[in-house]
Chains A and B, each alone.
Chain A
Amino acid sequence: MQAEEKLTYETWPASPEKSTLEAKNKFLGFWLFLGGETVLFASLFATYLSLKDKVPDSTHHLAKDIFSVPLTLVATMLLLTSSLTSVYAMYHMKNFAFKKMMIWLGITVLLGFGFLGLEIYEFNHYVHEYGHTFTSSAFASAFYTLVGFHGAHVCFGLGWILALMIRNYKRGLNLYNAPKFYVASLYWHFIDVVWVFIFTVVYLMGMVG
């Protein structure tokens, strides 16, 4: 199949994300890239775990003092839901239902912005309530780097999905942009998986001390 072909609901392939050679390459290349990203976050987690609660003196707050369940639980729910909505978007993409895909992607983006807003509020809260700043201790540096790297990924993912939505708003689906939507959603799932680990390792394990 060629990327430029005009397709209808009947001729739309079952797996549009890998029906041309370019798409197959993109699909596999992106999975491999996510493999590399996994090692990147693994390194950041290792750094965080070895520097957790490592502060210059006893006046500094520790993990158990600053983290709170309600805030991060809401953030987790927003991000997990956004992963689900991006699955719906891809379901409609595979069924050549462009409008529905755009609606679900739109909801995904809104949830993503909600998460990002909460994260900004959270960081701001730590800085002003607890004096827990990027430069205040090794623990703080490791915390903001790990969670901030994830936040930057969310930010990039939002920009990416928005750019795809705006670019293809008028022309609908074809085999050239379907793989693009698909890998963007893969990226979004990956961000979500990383967050599950952050929620567990940083927040839940942090609160038990």
Chain B
Amino acid sequence: MSTYAQKKGFGATVWDYLTTVDHKKIAILYLIAGGLFFLIGGLEAVFIRIQLAVPNNDFVSAGAFNEIITMHGTTMIFLAAMPLLFAFMNAVMPLQIGARDVAFPFVNALGFWLFFFGGIFLNLSWFLGGAPDAGWTSYASLAIHSKGHGVDFYVLGLQISGFGTLMGGINFLVTIINMRAPGMTYMRMPLFTWSTFVASAMILFAFPPLTVGLTLMMFDRLFGANFFEVAMGGNTIIWEHLFWVFGHPEVYILILPAFGIFSEIFSTFSRKRLFGYSSMVFATVLIGFLGFMVWAHHMFTTGLGPVANAIFAVATMAIGVPTGIKIFNWLFTMWGGSVKFTTPMYYAFGFIPSFVCGGVTGVMVATAAADYQYHDTYFVVAHFHYVIVGGVVLALLAGTHYWWPKMFGTMLNETLGKITFWLFFIGFHLTFFIQHFLGLWGMPRRVFTFLPGQGFDAANMVSSVGAAFMSAGVILLLLNIVVTQVKNVKVGNDPWEDGRTLEWAIPSPPPFYNFKQLPLVRGLDALWLEKMEGKKGMTPAEPLGDIHMPNASFIPFMISLGLFIAAFGAMYHVNDKPWAIPVLILGLAVTFGSMLVRSLKDDHGFHIHKEELQDEKGAEA
């Protein structure tokens, strides 16, 4: 008998999750933590829209408004969108390549706990003297003069969670390069795996500049350095460059996996091979490459000069080409397909026009000369919400419905799902479409209120009503989740019946070793191929044998906890608190001590024996 099927008490379950190195459980942790931060960020968005619903509103003060918009942006990008994508990458990517595990299970757990403690640290700012208020971009010219510890929370919190993301990225890269099942060549990998691969490579090269930027900011604010102090020879533009050298690739890190999710959904529910698979792969890689060449389009009005602006403008527009290739490939995938209108497919349908809108305004703001008009207006707010919400968030919601059965073994209610879609979709366009016009009419970004009679009143009210619809959609999704989990109707391997890729070849949720025998992959859409030849499942590529698995560990939690403690010491040392430096040292000692224990203690993992596997029911390869 294996132990995983036995019923566990609450404490044992908590301990299990605190120490787990299983990528599927880490995925659930990412989903829960990312979902929690998504709700917090959403609540902040609702506060913004309440404040701006009517002119001269005093729902929140100007200072609190700055904190709310900063935390909304920071939370949504770093603590909601990224971890929710990581949830799906963890849950699905290893299954899609036919792997039993990720390359670095321990590092994977460490990545999660670093992100989690970083996120908690950042959000504690609300209770410890005020949140960061210099915008999610935290430009140095504002940030170094921000009073209190808000910006310190931003700097230290993002630093900790950024380490986690970097480790996650390296783990995914090595997993995809080294651990593919027999026959799973690069050009047979599902698009979601491809986009995970490219996004991880981007994480590897985009996060270090952020690390450096945050370090410089930390040194300036907490340790008396002068990187951004102009009177001491400093230069605040350095922050802008470092931030956007990270920040622009970051938006592609978010959108590429979203494209990957939709590619899976289009192909599955059109019951047709993805149109132009190789051009999709090429477009993904090209977007990943070009994503590093366009950061200065965020800085057109900084004054880099016409040559720099022109080069970055053209490079930016060039990204429209591979993105266009993708849009047409999705349309042609549906063309002639036998389309099934499931909830994920609703989101996929809604995504195309929404994202194209965001793409069109993207080319508009990429036009450097015109950008002087759009800059810092609601037009830009509308643009990036069309690509992030219309692209990434729709993909996350679609992915939640699509892979829920694989992650939890239950199927979300389709009717509620479709109502959720309509509420969210209508609410989204209601909120953000009008903001294009608000921007063109001259309403600036980041203002906490506006005067009546400037022509902004009705449009802002419309936008706020849209936010209410979106909120209703999210609440309905939560309700759907609760209802589904309470009913707890278990589903089989392939609940959508049209699964094409390897994750649908194994039970839902999969056993902790994923594949009893590694599958033999004979082509793109490996499972579909077998189904079309009348087979029930995959052909095993190996005889039944012992399986090597990693041991659970509490060390990832401890390493992250140490940095969390150290961050408080670093932050309060500027207030001349006597305990600050000892706390800093204690925290670092916990972190490095835990790393030392990890290094000194051998961890060979364990083997599941062949005999135990033979007893296991329903876990065919």
Mark interface residues in B210-252 (1 if CB within 8 Å of A CB, else 0).
0111011001100111110101111100100110010000000
Pick the contact of B166 from A36, A46, A167 — CB < 8 Å? A36
List A contacts of B179 (CB < 8 A). 21, 25
Given that A21-B178, A32-B170, A43-B208 are contacting pairs, would A3 and B216 also be in contact in the complex, using a CB cutoff of 8 Å? Answer: no
- A28 and B174 within 8 A (CB): yes
How far is it, in angstroms, between the C-alpha of A120 and the C-alpha of B166 when the chains are bound? 31
- B205 and A39 within 8 A (CB): yes
Query: A142 within 8 Å of B by Cβ?
Result: yes
- B174 and A36 within 8 A (CB): no
How far is it, in angstroms, between the C-alpha of A137 and the C-alpha of B224 when the chains are bound? 10
How far is it, in angstroms, between the C-alpha of A6 and the C-alpha of B554 when the chains are bound? 29
- A40 and B208 within 8 A (CB): yes
- A51 and B596 within 8 A (CB): no
Interface residues on B, range: 35 or more
How far is it, in angstroms, between the C-alpha of A59 and the C-alpha of B254 when the chains are bound? 49
Pick the contact of A35 from B204, B245, B599, B604 — CB < 8 Å? B204
List A contacts of B207 (CB < 8 A). 36
- B212 and A47 within 8 A (CB): yes
Query: A110 within 8 Å of B by Cβ?
Result: no
Mark interface residues in B183-227 (1 if CB within 8 Å of A CB, else 0).
000000000000000000000110111011101100110011111
List B contacts of A39 (CB < 8 A). 204-205, 208-209
- A141 and B178 within 8 A (CB): no
Query: A50 within 8 Å of B by Cβ?
Result: yes
- A141 and B212 within 8 A (CB): no
- B212 and A43 within 8 A (CB): yes
Pick the contact of B204 from A24, A36, A145 — CB < 8 Å? A36
List A contacts of B205 (CB < 8 A). 35-36, 39
- A141 and B170 within 8 A (CB): no
List B contacts of A142 (CB < 8 A). 227
Min Cβ gap B235→A in Å is: 6
How far is it, in angstroms, between the C-alpha of A95 and the C-alpha of B233 when the chains are bound? 54
List A contacts of B171 (CB < 8 A). 29
- A163 and B227 within 8 A (CB): no
Given that A139-B233, A145-B216, A164-B599 are contacting pairs, would A43 and B242 also be in contact in the complex, using a CB cutoff of 8 Å? Answer: yes
Query: B602 within 8 Å of A by Cβ?
Result: yes
- B216 and A134 within 8 A (CB): no
Pick the contact of B235 from A32, A40, A51, A167 — CB < 8 Å? A51
List A contacts of B223 (CB < 8 A). 134-135
How far is it, in angstroms, between the C-alpha of A21 and the C-alpha of B99 when the chains are bound? 12
- A137 and B226 within 8 A (CB): yes
Closest partner residue, chain A, to B171 (CB atom): A29
Min Cβ gap B193→A in Å is: 17
Interface residues on A, range: 35 or more
Query: B541 within 8 Å of A by Cβ?
Result: no
List A contacts of B602 (CB < 8 A). 176
Min Cβ gap B250→A in Å is: 14
144-162 of chain A: CB within 8 A of chain B: 145, 160
Give the A-B pair count, Cβ closer than 8 A.
113
Pick the contact of A176 from B213, B226, B604 — CB < 8 Å? B604
Query: B59 within 8 Å of A by Cβ?
Result: no
Query: B104 within 8 Å of A by Cβ?
Result: yes
Mark interface residues in A123-139 (1 if CB within 8 Å of B CB, else 0).
00000000000110111
Mark interface residues in A160-181 (1 if CB within 8 Å of B CB, else 0).
1001100100000000100010
Chain B at the A interface: mostly helix, strand, loop or mixed? helix
- A50 and B219 within 8 A (CB): no
List A contacts of B204 (CB < 8 A). 32, 35-36, 39
List B contacts of A9 (CB < 8 A). none
How far is it, in angstroms, between the C-alpha of A97 and the C-alpha of B207 when the chains are bound? 40
List A contacts of B233 (CB < 8 A). 51, 54-56, 137-139
- A32 and B599 within 8 A (CB): no
596-621 of chain B: CB within 8 A of chain A: 596, 599-600, 602, 604
Min Cβ gap B496→A in Å is: 32
- A4 and B604 within 8 A (CB): yes
Given that A36-B208, A141-B227 are contacting pairs, would A29 and B235 also be in contact in the complex, using a CB cutoff of 8 Å? Answer: no
Query: A37 within 8 Å of B by Cβ?
Result: yes
Mark interface residues in A11-43 (1 if CB within 8 Å of B CB, else 0).
000000000010011001100110111011001
How far is it, in angstroms, between the C-alpha of A3 and the C-alpha of B603 when the chains are bound? 10
How far is it, in angstroms, between the C-alpha of A40 and the C-alpha of B166 when the chains are bound? 12
Query: B348 within 8 Å of A by Cβ?
Result: no
- B211 and A40 within 8 A (CB): yes
Name, among B177, B211, B227, the residue most crowded by chain A CB atoms within 10 Å (CB to CB).
Answer: B227
How far is it, in angstroms, between the C-alpha of A170 and the C-alpha of B213 when the chains are bound? 44
- A163 and B242 within 8 A (CB): no
Query: A103 within 8 Å of B by Cβ?
Result: no
How far is it, in angstroms, between the C-alpha of A156 and the C-alpha of B204 when the chains are bound? 21
Pick the contact of B178 from A24, A33, A40, A47 — CB < 8 Å? A24
Min Cβ gap B555→A in Å is: 15
Name, among B174, B219, B596, B602, the residue most crowded by chain A CB atoms within 10 Å (CB to CB).
Answer: B174
- B227 and A135 within 8 A (CB): no
List B contacts of A176 (CB < 8 A). 602, 604
Query: B380 within 8 Å of A by Cβ?
Result: no
List A contacts of B231 (CB < 8 A). 56
List B contacts of A180 (CB < 8 A). 599
Query: B103 within 8 Å of A by Cβ?
Result: yes
Query: B173 within 8 Å of A by Cβ?
Result: yes
User: When A and B form their complex, which 3 residue pairs have the shortest distance between CB atoms, in order from nearest?
Assistant: A54-B233, A138-B233, A40-B208
Q: List 14 A-B contacts (CB under 8 A).
A: A21-B178, A28-B174, A29-B173, A32-B173, A35-B204, A35-B205, A36-B170, A39-B208, A43-B208, A47-B242, A51-B233, A134-B225, A135-B223, A145-B227
Q: Which residues of A contact B (CB under 8 A)?
A: 3-4, 21, 24-25, 28-29, 32-33, 35-37, 39-40, 43-44, 46-47, 50-51, 54-56, 134-135, 137-142, 145, 160, 163-164, 167, 176, 180
